Structure 1
């Protein structure tokens, strides 16, 4: 970040593919068995290219994520970003524009809600889970993305095998 590194106001861990953001890399661990059913559900229901997960743990009022666009480094072009929300209800905020002409949209990120952020929306709108003193509980978000590394080749091969046509 300009001016040097800042502490991340939440806990996080990447699984399946490294996640690059603000000059940092969150080194991925293998996807644990407890998360595999979520990844498979998202692949079958939303987009089969989604191969990597990033977990953010929020614990109380001091944990949040400021307005940002997700990094598209190594992302599959035009793939969506999917976030599943668990635990305490928080605000999921979209903003765009600058200064007095800023547009703002707030959505309730309650337990079990799934957000699908199209690739183009991520480029046009910033998203955030704002800081608020009223938050006292825990929240976990599981965000899935499609990366060109971390197993996407196996997914593409599987799709090709399952959807082959005869000429």
Structure 2
């Protein structure tokens, strides 16, 4: 394992032989990441950002930390198939019905990732002051090796990853409007991620994280 500490996180990038977005993969031990660049080209990405901001039913949840209640520093919305309830950090979420816009985006993401996603957590970062802290999408209802497809519309933001055991330096991936990052395998078990604050970002970003929630028969 020692060589992992010395080996740099080289980026393996290749342009698809077919028409479509370029694909980038990352040499990160214990992580399986594929970045599909510009799945939605401009101006489509920014137009979809505006459309989602206006159409989705956003809410600002509250979270308890160290005995105090705080507003979550972003807005959220949970959509999905019937019975696809979800909870994180003590927040219970019941799915709203798919909108036509979300259904169209979901179908494109299913084609890219090869996974039948049944739900999506939408995050609205109103500007660079909104963020999400270190976490992993490792809830039991997602299974041991979930496939998570993260779609970005609007402002570009840094997506920062680090090993849970802190054995490697954190890695930044810039996610631009129209990009789709697919995380597979043991990524959620071994790695965690965040979207840090950025004073330079003045525009909104909508992030759609498609998931497959295990539903009891």
Alignment correspondent of 1:35:
102
- Residues 72 and 47 of structure 1, relative CA distance in 2, 3 Å threshold: farther
Gaps of at least 5 residues in structure 1 are: 154-167
Q: Report the counterpart of residue 195 of structure 2 in structure 1.
A: 129
CA distance in 2, matches of 1:53, 1:105: 25
Alignment-derived partner of residue 3 in structure 1: 66
Q: Note the residue ranges of structure 2 that are not aligned, 5 or more in a row.
A: 1-63
Give, in whole Å, the separation in 2 of the partners of 1:6 and 1:149. 31
Relative to the length of structure 1, the TM-score reads 0.80
Q: Could you state the TM-score of these two structures normalised by the residue count of structure 2?
A: 0.63
**Superposition RMSD on alpha carbons, in Å?**
2.1
Partner of 1:83: 150
Are the equivalent residues in 2 in contact too, given 1:97–1:103 (CA < 8 A)?
no
Higher relative contact order (CA 8 A, sep 6+): 1
**Greater alpha carbon shift after TM alignment, 40-49 vs 24-33:** 40-49
Q: Residue in 1 aligned with 2:93?
A: 26
> In the alignment, is residue 14 of structure 1 matched against residue 78 of structure 2?
yes
Give the CA deviation at 1:119: 4.1
Of the three residues 108, 111, 118, the one matched with 1:44 is 111
- 1: CA distance between counterparts of 2:168 and 2:71? 27
Q: Distance in 1 between matches of 2:145 and 2:164?
A: 22
Kept in 2: contact 1:96–1:126 (CA 8 A): yes
Query: How many Å separate the matches in 2 of 1:50 and 1:72?
Result: 16
Instruction: Quote the offset at 1:35 in angstroms.
Output: 0.6
- How far residue 98 of structure 1 moved from its aligned partner, in angstroms, is 5.5
1:56 and 2:123 equivalent? yes
Please state if 1:92 is matched with 2:172: no
Match of 2:178 in 1: 112
The superposition leaves residues 52-102 of structure 1 with CA deviations (integer Å, 9 ceiling, x where unpaired) of: 011100111221111111142311443311101010011011012457x55
